Structure 1
Amino acid sequence: MRCLLPTLALLLPGLAQAFASQDDLFASDSELPSVLTATRLKQAPAAVPGAMTVLDRELIRASGARDIAELMRLVPGMMVSYRQGNLATVNYHGSNSSEARRLQVLIDGRSVYRPGLATVDWFDLPLAIEDIERIEVFRGPNTVSYGANALLGVVNIISRKPQDSLGTRLQWRYGQTGINDWYASHGQALDNGALRLSLSGQADNGFDKDANQQPLRDDRRLNRLLLSAEHDLDSQQQLSWQLALSEGSNQQPYTYRPVFGPYSPGDQGSDTQVRDYAASVRWNIDLSPQHSLQLQGNLQHWEHLRSWRACDAALSYYPPLRQLWQMNPQFAQRFALSGFTATSQVAAEQALANQIINEWLNGSGRQETCGTVNQDLRESRAEIELLDTLSLTDDLRLLSGVSLRRDQADSQTYFAGSTHNNLGRLFGHLEWQASERWLLQGGAMYEYDQLGGDSLTPRLAVNYLLAPGHGLRALYSEAVRSPDLFESTPNWSYWITDISPNIYGRSDAYYFVSNQGPENLDNERMRSREIGYNGHFEAWQLSLDVKLFDDHISGLISEPLLNNAIPASNNSSISLRGMETQLDWRASSRDRLRLSYAYIEDDPSNPNDKHQSARHSGSTGWLADWGQGWSSSLFYYQMEALNEQPFQRLDLRLAKRLQLGSSQLELAGVWQQRLDSGTLAWREVLYNGQQIQRESRNDQRHRVYFTAELEF
């Protein structure tokens, strides 16, 4: 709060002047930018029922970011971290950030939230950062507009239109930590539209060391293809479509530790082969100036294929031990960790325990053996959605829609085969301009989820329009998150093949640990209250947004998803309170300043969720145009004690644009300097209650890379 008061003190005189003597509250010398993500209606920022952050193309380019996840550091309240080096996680306001389950992420209206493991693969998205027009982030629950999984917020990534990117563009980026990226695109005008083909590749060596100062195996390689087109069928109909593909590999460290016997890794790790295929088509029909329809269909398929060699004592594959685990996993844990000294009062359990002890004592169970572990996972989604936008009167707009979706996951390891989920949604949003100053909005979504059951989530908002571009807002909303396939229906067990030497007369066997889902999980439920202000001071070219929030999530699923853990439950809850502010000021025709700040107080019932929110976080940026083709940008990012590790970084980008006839060449360099002494750390809770810290660190506190881009 102390950081916000000086800013408000500076703005109050201008605020009073802007509000004084306004004959027409909707008159303005310039058209204010509009946003679409909040309600799916085109709205001015001051009329939105919630807090919004827009990362425009200029800001994205000036940041010098290579990854979409890194751009989220510019959004107030976003927590960005990495686990196993190359796996970025992004969460809004925290909660269990080891699995980013509560944030809906869209690319041009197509959800990239994976249905099987309830997460988002930020690096593997089939969209290059160079193809992004803007990113709209709705900071708050929005189940009303986007269904379950939009519990904490919505990130809507909007790509460039083909007609806005005609011509050819080539780019190459090279730098420290093995950075070697490339991009090529060509946009072509058609008789009734335009088409663009983009090809891109991205590679780096990740971090240098882990917590033990050992080389961290986390190289990344990815290639992408994006083909997009738009067609004007006639004056009232437009058709757009996309085909997207990404293929690559992510190195994974060897993290298995034997339950029995000494540590003896079978190899140094393995690569996860990743593939993402997507297709979408959108048909817009303008029935009249007051009435329009939008029909969109999406198909998506993910593949994450991984196998590696693991070593343990033969006892790990002993059938009686697996039977004991399936009978009573809690006792089996105690029995294994106690060195076979724990006893059971249940005769059948103790009989199995005695067999296991004899197998260990006679030496057969002590033999070290290695086998191949398969962790392949294939996921797919098919979805169709119809939106209807109707202006009932000049002051009353209604958006309504219906959607159907089917999710499927296939994995012998995670699901013992295949599992699926069907969803159906009905939703609507009503906007009523009750008077010059008062804007009333309400909406609700009914969702049927085959696994989570029925849910109805409402939102009510009141916006008081102080003047053109200035509005106060107050809203109450409810949201749900339905359990994903992996939480609800896991049948997690490892079938080990190519075992050498053979055990119990076989070359393949089940590992004794397994986990089956409860299949009766309820939805997580959230109640959110927010008051805020959004204003645009036209004379100063300054935009300001302030948000105060009070959120409570009940039925929270906090347990780590591990195959040797007790199944997930709805036994946790968390309260989140605080404030956020963001400021964007075009101080002159050549200077732009941007600030964001978030203060969050979290009160979780589960202590494992306590360190997932940084109390203070924010960013500061200065974009400058020096003339003669020179430009620069300077960004400072800060998070206080996320996972008990501070984060401070300074990014400097310097660029020179050259005119080569009808072509343009831009040369740019980026310097990233860590200012803190911490690491990027990830706390993981083991099934026995212990915690391990997975740390990612570099030998140097800075990273430098250069970019050359040619447009013609």
Structure 2
Amino acid sequence: MLGLSMAGLAGLGAHADERAPTEEDYFAQLPVVLTASRLDQPLNEAPGAMTVIDRDTIRQSGARTVAELLRLVPGYVLGGWNGANPLASYHVALDDYGGRNLVLIDGRSVYASSYLGDTHRGMMDVLLPDIERIEVLRGANSAAYGANAMFGVVNIITRHSVDTVGGAVALSVGDNGIRDTYARLGVGTGGNNVRLSVGEQRDRGYLNAFDDKRLGQVHLRADFQPTLADEVMVALAASELLAGQGYGPTDPSSPYHQLRSRTTHGQFEWRRQLDERNELQVSLSYMEDRQREPMSVQVHVSPFPPISLDVDYGTWGQRHNVEVQQRTVWSPTWRTLVGVGYKDERALSDTMYYGQGWVSMGETRLFGTAEWRVDPAWLLNAGLFMGDHTLAGTYTAPRLMVNWLATPHQTWRLGVTESIRAPSLSEYKSDVRVNLPGTPYFSRAYAASGAVQPETLLSQEIGYLGRWPEAQVTLDARLYRERMRDVVVDDNGDGTAPLPYQLGKTRDFVNRLALTLVGLEYQLRWKATPRTELWLNQNFSRLKWDAPDYEAKEERRPPRHATTVALFQQLPDNWQISLLHERVGSMTLRAKSSWMATTHRTDLRLGRTFRWGGYKAEAAFTVQSVEGDQLFFDPQRNYRRGRQGFLTLQLEM
């Protein structure tokens, strides 16, 4: 049903032809996961720490975005420069766009090429009721996915269309302008099924910010099984975001204005079981993002008086990707995955890439994973990714992880991984110009020299996964040290010779910083009774910048401690209550001037399932931030995350 190789569980000590993974495998207490190495593995054999959030947890959490769901993953911190741009970062938010955090939807990267290589808007391009589960690898993983899989990998896996035959509708209304709608229709029989989903999400964002949001989406997924050996998946989608942006009169360079962002994508995936030991997978995807951001800015460049200019920072980006990989089971103790791929990214913007037309970069890649069961207690996982990037050059990203299965329920992990982030098109080729009308003069905010080099991250970790089946307790802990070099920052560019008629300074992107992050994180899950489940996540970390001046400014300082507690309780008569409490230590997502004190957030959801006219229905009431309004992200501007309640009614046919 989920399109996995029948050979996928051979690493468990079974032969390839015994059985394929079932839904029960994925949602057992020790689930099978796909994201760590591209091989399907039980959680205790994955080469890294992972968190799995299943469909029931997504529904019971009361979350409205994927970013909010990631609060259930230790080490992730929720942010966003306004309420229309939610962002969740793993460990440290080095940018406002999530460019160092790989986000996949059904294995397709949502990395946008048009602007600064962001993933946060792509992470919004999925409807939560369509998600089957979210797998999060907590740590670097360029060995499996290449550049940009640096701080965490989020793989959003949508429901197979065979599981959504029929219809469903949902409506949420509440405070702060919340109005969310969803509708789904699924048709088909046997191995051929199609699902069409549409939805819209509206709210008014943060208090005291100009960030009203309206996000509309339409998704089509079709799954076919033309033969017993073949499975085909086709996905098409389009979304449009209308959002308020800017800081208003306090910042003439960023007045209040409207952003319109449109994203479309297509995806094709074909799997063929070549024989009992080999599976071939071919994937093709295309993504296009167009953004219009017109505004009237005030520019004051000596010796000219202040002048109002109409500027559009709109961009048009395209991304093509093709990939072929083969899984092979050589024996009950040895299996491999090898693959090749190519991607092309390009962007067009008169303002961002002045006079250059389409700018582009491409990458050819070769990757592989080998899993060797040395003996029943020792499992070795080695991965290597080699990329040939037209701008970043040639690079390699290796990983070596050893899993010691000390007992059937106790596993220790020890490993080292090296990852990279290739700079974005903007960091390589941006030339941001604004012409002063009626004169030959212009301002040039950014002029990338193209000399920037990839960032590198060396991650070392010791992990532990313990299960106590009698007590229904699972503990997953990760002790890590992450050393990042060649961190890219924008520089004043004093050494850049100004062009004729250029006014003011320009900025370039350079490799200037390094940091070290050490910490301990863990997740504890306890199924206290068949009707009660408790989650406890904690992360303790310490960040050290190498540059004393940057350190003194407290730039990009993550919290030293963060705790999330979640309770999911089934009550009599089909009632259910969920309680999520989050405590995040003091931190800054930008600079010392935007320092946030320790924050608390409690979300409460009360729901009941029932039958209505022969259909399955659920009504739920959710209150987010029960404590009330709190300063968030940018205290200087008095941005606040407000208390909001909303009622949800869902009907499934």
Q: Gaps (5+ residues) in structure 2?
A: 1-11, 15-23, 494-503, 589-594
**Secondary structure of the structure 2 residue equivalent to 1:397:** strand
Structure 1 residues 386 and 174, CA, compared in 2 at 3 Å: closer, same or farther?
same
Q: Which residue in 1 is equivalent to 2:485?
A: 554
Amino acid at match of 1:241: V
Q: Which residue in 1 is equivalent to 2:290?
A: 303
**Secondary structure of the structure 1 residue equivalent to 2:375:** coil
Higher relative contact order (CA 8 A, sep 6+): 1
Q: Which residue in 1 is equivalent to 2:231?
A: 238
Say which is worse superposed, 174-183 or 597-606, in terms of deviation.
597-606
Q: Does 1:66 align with 2:64?
A: yes
Are the aligned partners of 1:69 and 1:122 in contact in 2 as well (CA < 8 Å)? no
Amino acid at match of 1:514: A
Amino acid at match of 1:697: R
Are the aligned partners of 1:68 and 1:122 in contact in 2 as well (CA < 8 Å)? no
Structure 1 residues 571 and 369, CA, compared in 2 at 3 Å: closer, same or farther?
closer
Amino acid at match of 1:627: P
Q: Which residue in 2 is equivalent to 1:477?
A: 417
Structure 1 position 564, deviation (Å): 5.9
The within-5 A match list for 1:570-609 is 570-605=511-546, 606-607=550-551
Say which is worse superposed, 190-199 or 95-104, in terms of deviation.
95-104
Structure 1 position 255, deviation (Å): 5.0
349, 370, 375: which one aligns with 2:308 = 370
Q: Which residue in 1 is equivalent to 2:623?
A: 671
Structure 1 position 253, deviation (Å): 2.3
Structure 1 residues 31 and 141, CA, compared in 2 at 3 Å: closer, same or farther?
closer
The within-5 A match list for 1:618-633 is 618-633=563-578
Q: Which residue in 2 is equivalent to 1:527?
A: 458
Q: Which residue in 2 is equivalent to 1:639?
A: 584
Please give the per-residue CA displacement for 1:670-696, whole angstroms capped at 9, x wherever unaligned: 01225487411248xxxxxxxxx4442
Report sequence identity in percent.
Answer: 30
1-structure distance, mates of 2:49, 2:492? 32
Structure 1 position 72, deviation (Å): 1.1
Q: How many residues align?
A: 607
Are the aligned partners of 1:374 and 1:494 in contact in 2 as well (CA < 8 Å)? no
Structure 1 position 432, deviation (Å): 0.4
Structure 1 position 588, deviation (Å): 1.1
Structure 1 position 627, deviation (Å): 2.4
Q: Which residue in 1 is equivalent to 2:497?
A: none
2-structure distance, mates of 1:559, 1:674? 39
Q: Which residue in 2 is equivalent to 1:412?
A: 350
Structure 1 residues 551 and 124, CA, compared in 2 at 3 Å: closer, same or farther?
closer
Structure 1 position 142, deviation (Å): 0.3
Say which is worse superposed, 91-100 or 455-464, in terms of deviation.
91-100
2-structure distance, mates of 1:443, 1:124? 26
Q: Does 1:703 align with 2:641?
A: no
**Secondary structure of the structure 1 residue equivalent to 2:38:** coil
Structure 1 residues 31 and 286, CA, compared in 2 at 3 Å: closer, same or farther?
farther
**Secondary structure of the structure 2 residue equivalent to 1:580:** strand
Structure 1 position 464, deviation (Å): 0.5
Are the aligned partners of 2:421 and 2:455 in contact in 1 as well (CA < 8 Å)? yes
2-structure distance, mates of 1:421, 1:26? 43
Q: Which residue in 2 is equivalent to 1:161?
A: 160
Say which is worse superposed, 136-145 or 81-90, in terms of deviation.
81-90
Structure 1 position 586, deviation (Å): 1.4
Are the aligned partners of 1:88 and 1:123 in contact in 2 as well (CA < 8 Å)? no
Structure 1 residues 674 and 666, CA, compared in 2 at 3 Å: closer, same or farther?
closer
Structure 1 position 306, deviation (Å): 1.1
Please give the per-residue CA displacement for 1:602-635, whole angstroms capped at 9, x wherever unaligned: 0012335644311101210010111212111000
Structure 1 position 456, deviation (Å): 0.9
Q: Gaps (5+ residues) in structure 1?
A: 1-24, 210-215, 317-335, 337-355, 357-364, 684-692
2-structure distance, mates of 1:432, 1:483? 34
Are the aligned partners of 1:647 and 1:676 in contact in 2 as well (CA < 8 Å)? no
Say which is worse superposed, 374-383 or 27-36, in terms of deviation.
27-36
Structure 1 position 55, deviation (Å): 0.9
Structure 1 residues 73 and 510, CA, compared in 2 at 3 Å: closer, same or farther?
farther
2-structure distance, mates of 1:229, 1:105? 22
Q: Normalising by structure 1, report the TM-score.
A: 0.81
Q: Which residue in 2 is equivalent to 1:468?
A: 408
632, 643, 648: which one aligns with 1:680 = 632
2-structure distance, mates of 1:255, 1:560? 26
Are the aligned partners of 1:178 and 1:204 in contact in 2 as well (CA < 8 Å)? yes
Q: Does 1:449 align with 2:394?
A: no
The within-5 A match list for 1:210-289 is 216-255=209-248, 269-289=256-276
Say which is worse superposed, 25-34 or 550-559, in terms of deviation.
25-34
1-structure distance, mates of 2:415, 2:291? 40
Structure 1 position 478, deviation (Å): 0.7
Are the aligned partners of 2:272 and 2:281 in contact in 1 as well (CA < 8 Å)? yes
383, 391, 413: which one aligns with 2:329 = 391
462, 469, 478: which one aligns with 1:538 = 469
Structure 1 position 441, deviation (Å): 1.2
76, 79, 84: which one aligns with 1:78 = 76
Structure 1 position 535, deviation (Å): 2.3
347, 362, 368: which one aligns with 1:428 = 368
Amino acid at match of 1:39: S
Please give the per-residue CA displacement for 1:468-506, whole angstroms capped at 9, x wherever unaligned: 24311100111111111111111111246xx6xxx45xx
Q: Which residue in 1 is equivalent to 2:317?
A: 379
Are the aligned partners of 1:602 and 1:610 in contact in 2 as well (CA < 8 Å)? no
2-structure distance, mates of 1:516, 1:648? 41
1-structure distance, mates of 2:299, 2:449? 29
Are the aligned partners of 1:84 and 1:253 in contact in 2 as well (CA < 8 Å)? no
2-structure distance, mates of 1:195, 1:68? 24
Q: Which residue in 1 is equivalent to 2:139?
A: 140
Are the aligned partners of 2:604 and 2:626 in contact in 1 as well (CA < 8 Å)? no
Structure 1 residues 473 and 130, CA, compared in 2 at 3 Å: closer, same or farther?
same
Rg comparison, structure with higher value: 1
Structure 1 residues 555 and 674, CA, compared in 2 at 3 Å: closer, same or farther?
farther
1-structure distance, mates of 2:422, 2:100? 10
Please give the per-residue CA displacement for 1:32-67, whole angstroms capped at 9, x wherever unaligned: 411100001111111111110111111111110011
Q: Which residue in 1 is equivalent to 2:603?
A: 651
